[in-house]
Amino acid sequence: MHSSLDWIYTVDIDAGTLTISSMSEWRGLLAPSPSLPLDLAEIYETYSIDGWTVRKPRYMFGEDIRESNEAQAKQFETFEMDLGIPSPMNELQGRFFTDLVFVWRFWIDDPSTWRVLCAAFLRLAAWDFEVSFDSRCSEVELPIDATSIPLWSYPDTDIYWFHGYLVVLQENLQSDAMINKAISKAKSYIGTLDTRPRHGKTRLICISLRQVVFVELSQEAALASKSLVLLSSSSATQCSPGFRALARVLTSNCWKPHAYREKWPVNMPPEIIEMIFSKMEPGDAVAFSQAFSVAEQCYYASEFQFKNIDVQSFESSIPCCGKRTRLETHGICCSECYSWQHLECLGLENDSSSSKGRYVCLDCQEREMVLDPGGINRFSCRKVREGCQVRANGLLKSLQLRLSKPAHLRPELRSYARLDSVAPSLIDYTILFNHAFSGLAYGLEPLEDTSC
């Protein structure tokens, strides 16, 4: 029941108090989070209650607030990340992220499963999953609802290695104090196991459900990016800046560690590499792509595992017009959400100073990205899921999220006079994490081809 609750109002008649709290984890059990009681004698109408306390809880999980509020010296220097231009793979990753958040929105408020969801976000960002496109697609357990449970495996520790990065799970990364805590945890782990890379630098992905921070540790200093929003109330419809950065870090050379990468001494044409990829198992293909830079560039430049599919529209990563052309010379990246837009789409093509300064898109200027309890479900449950425009086997299609089984496998439709009048909504692809269903199933729907 907790996944459907936003707030718990407790009235103590004897004490004359009203306590407003949210569900959180305490000693392994779900319970109302501790909060300060309000004096009933001073509450006459709803406007008497502090609106900031009601609408914007600072912490969703049972965390030691006193520790996070202590004045602590900043133990790191900040740096800016250049993420580069998104690839077709990044466009699909952004779609998968919003769809995963929508499918598992009932579990976002449950602190007992945040490690499971963090593992899923990391796998999507690294393109580390399997795609099934055989007869098993129709056998997946749909729909996903509040009674479903994520069943994919995940590390049961708060710190582990993932694709050359040291992942540190932290319940909150909003303040410098909490980032310092994550850095201290990583230093202790590295020192205990003596796992520091030979070149003396370790790159961290500090992640919580709300934020992600990238940290570079060396003997001399610690460099950290700003805290990026990973999950907000709008993340089921718009890709978050934290996930965009996470996907670029894990699938490009913009911030990749090179200490343990294997060297491939054989010069091989890209066409041969593509042929090898097409015959390999998903996990082996990922490992092969990390063996040397040419294979990596080949792998992450396309949409491997989705056979004969080319992304046609980039509406998630390039919201102005969805076209990826001329971004190198006529594009600008938002410094807050990392989406790209064309200068001419913004009416800035004649403004030479626009590309030199710090650009913030209109959406980021107008909205505040917060994660309210139950906010994802309220914000997105009534909105239509838009598909991704692709070209499959030469035909224009829409890669559409499937939320239910095909019509002929749904017993509730048997009461229809004619079953063939119901759209079949066939499932063509399912995404798996270590052979466990992720909740993401997709089908191809025809679109009118308007190209010449």
Eight-class DSSP state of 9: E
CA-CA distance, 422 to 374, in Å (whole number)? 32
Q: Which amino acid is at 218?
A: S
**What pLDDT is recorded for position 32?**
64
DSSP codes of every residue in 318-340? -TTTS--TTHHHHEEE-TTT--E
CA-CA distance, 17 to 10, in Å (whole number)? 8
CA-CA distance, 205 to 34, in Å (whole number)? 30
Threshold 0.95, pTM exceeds: no
**What pLDDT is recorded for position 257?**
63
Q: Are strands 429-433 and 436-446 parallel, antiparallel or unpaired?
A: antiparallel
**What pLDDT is recorded for position 71?**
39
Q: Are strands 395-401 and 436-446 parallel, antiparallel or unpaired?
A: antiparallel
Sign of the CA dihedral with 367 first, then 126, 130, and 210 last = negative
Q: How confident is the prediction along the chain (452 residues), in pLDDT tens digits per residue? A: 455 566 778 888 888 888 877 766 555 556 666 666 788 877 766 555 544 344 333 344 444 434 444 435 677 888 888 888 888 999 999 999 999 999 999 888 777 788 899 999 999 999 999 888 876 666 788 888 888 889 999 998 999 999 889 999 988 898 888 999 999 999 999 886 655 555 578 899 999 989 999 999 888 889 999 999 999 999 999 999 999 999 999 988 788 765 445 566 677 787 888 888 878 877 788 778 777 777 877 787 777 778 778 899 999 999 999 998 888 888 999 989 999 999 999 888 765 555 556 889 988 888 888 888 788 988 888 788 889 999 988 899 999 999 988 877 777 776 665 655 566 778 889 999 988 999 999 999 988 665 54
Whether the Cβ atoms of residue 129 and residue 291 lie closer than 8 Å to each other = no
Sequence-distant (6+) residues with CB within 8 A of 232 are 210, 240, 369, 370, 371, 375
Nearest Cα to Cα of residue 91 among 309, 331, 373: 309
Taking only Cα atoms into account, the Rg of the chain, rounded to an integer number of angstroms, comes to 24
Place of tokens 């290695």: 161
